[in-house]
Amino acid sequence: MTKSIPVAIIGAGPYGLSIAAHLRACGVEHRIFGRTMGPWRTQMPAGMHLKSEGFASTLYDPQSAFTLKQYCHDAGLPYADLGLPVPLDTLNAYGLAFQSRFAPDVEDRLVAGLDRREDEFVLTLDDGETVAADAVVVAVGLSYFRQIPPALEGLGSEFITHSQDHHDLTPFKSRKVVVIGGGSSAIDLATLLHESGADAQLVARGQSLSIHEKMQLPRPLWDRLTAPMSGVGPGWRSLLYSDFPQLFHWIPEQRRLRIVRKSLGPSAGWFMKERFVGKVPALLGYTVDCAEIKGGRVNLHLLGRDGARKQLTAEHVVAATGYAPDVRRLPFLSASILGRLKTAGNTPVLSSSLQSTVPGLYFAGPAAANSFGPVLRFIVGAKFAAPQIANHIVRATRARKPYVAAPAYGDRQASVQRGGRVSG
């Protein structure tokens, strides 16, 4: 095991790269592990576009010098802050360019284990190397948190997969594929399958599908006043979530969990409407009651909201049924760390600096959404998370003091009521 380093970052997506850029600018030694933009490059379907507007799809260096806008300008690619969907390929190319410039030492290795021994963390990499670190930032995105309906589990990946399993859709050409789900990923995937030559059909439990309406540009004054634009969409509430995550952090815990669960649902982008509606058949108001394999095909037994039953047969079923962040599903976290993590809604309770109740262990991205709001589910949330984490690490490093976990929300409130000061 090598000499302990100040910081290890697990994950090399938008959050991990942005945090690394901030630490590097501050001169803090660190190592970052993961495949650069890995899930975006290998788990998102080729040909998709981002729902986020151009200005909200950037990564964050400390000077905001290398934005997606700047990259597209330099590369001669089309770009607009609003109204022009960002192609997945453009985001990935930009992410690789950002990594080359601001996080050149990304190590294309995965963390297989993370434990805490005495006053340091020990990371075990997938090649067997062990690394000691004073602090660790977990910025792994959604890959570990995928959900598949219980009725579809156990049938084998030959017949049932999750939407994140498919980047290249060409193997499904001329095959009958049923997509389960009613959100953005389901609509995107069913459409892209159809356009790739598959016989695609969508099945959703909702009675209707949600697809955003195209924004009028330039935005009328009344729209700008009543629904100001934010990094997660128009509206005063969205602006609160996007621009004031620290304020969101002070909302009582149960209300925060409820807001995160219900806000900014998975509606499809406006640009999918003409590509999906009338072209991809959709069976609405049905859930999968059970499924079985017969004759090399999947038989789906569907149950309607009105009690009606239907059967569908497909060569393959894709569950585009979203994700549920849950730290227990992070396979590299040791039992001792999990035992010390205070959680709310199965995600870590975090301080104002995104530090967990395990001193020196930080979480960024979707795992932090229950603490700081739905903005942490989006790329734009890195604008808040990266400097918060980096600044706290810099202060701890320069003070050469051991990491001390900040109080959880209830303890913090009690301290404030007693007139105490809380940081963290």
Could you give the domains of the chain?
5-145+324-417 (3.50.50.60), 150-211+267-319 (3.50.50.60)
Please name the residues in contact with 98: beta carbons below 8 A apart, sequence gap of 6 or more: 17, 21, 59, 61, 66, 71
Alpha helices in 114-252 (DSSP H): 184-195, 221-226, 236-243, 245-249
Question: Above pLDDT 70, what percent of the chain?
Answer: 93
CB half-sphere exposure, 160, CA atoms < 13 A: 22
DSSP string, 345-372: TTEE---TTSB-SSTTEEE-GGGGHHHH
| Tens digits of residue pLDDT in 223-237 | 999 999 999 999 999
d(CA 45, CA 164): 8
Q: Which tokens go with 23?
A: 């630490």
> What pLDDT, on a 0 to 100 scale, did the predictor assign at position 264?
82
| Tens digits of residue pLDDT in 144-195 | 999 999 999 888 999 999 999 999 999 999 999 999 999 999 999 999 999 9
Flag whether pLDDT at 413 surpasses 50.
no
- Beta strand extents in 166-308 (DSSP E only): 176-180, 199-204, 229-230, 233-234, 282-284, 286-294, 297-304
Flag whether pLDDT at 407 surpasses 70.
no
> What pLDDT, on a 0 to 100 scale, did the predictor assign at position 422?
33
Helix axes 14-25, 88-102, angle to 10 degrees: 20
Per the DSSP assignment, residues forming a β-bridge with 284 are 204
| Tens digits of residue pLDDT in 256-289 | 999 999 988 788 999 999 999 999 999 999 999 9
Flag whether pLDDT at 411 surpasses 50.
no
| Tens digits of residue pLDDT in 368-389 | 999 999 999 999 999 999 999 9
| Angle, CA 60 vertex, CA 94 and CA 69 arms, to 5° | 50
The residue assigned the tokens 């803090």 is 28
The residue assigned the tokens 């650069």 is 36
Per the DSSP assignment, residues forming a β-bridge with 293 are 298
Please name the residues in contact with 128: beta carbons below 8 A apart, sequence gap of 6 or more: none
SS3 344: strand
> What pLDDT, on a 0 to 100 scale, did the predictor assign at position 401?
60
What is the identity of the amino acid at 340? R
The alpha carbon dihedral of 332, 338, 343, 348 has a sign of negative
Check residue 174 and give left, alpha or beta (phi > 0: left; psi -120 to 50: alpha): left
Q: Please state whether the predicted TM-score (pTM) of the whole model is above 0.85.
A: yes
> What pLDDT, on a 0 to 100 scale, did the predictor assign at position 416?
34
Flag whether pLDDT at 32 surpasses 50.
yes
Q: Which tokens go with 325?
A: 């962040």
| Tens digits of residue pLDDT in 302-358 | 999 999 999 999 999 999 999 999 999 999 999 999 999 999 999 999 999 999 999
d(CA 357, CA 337): 10
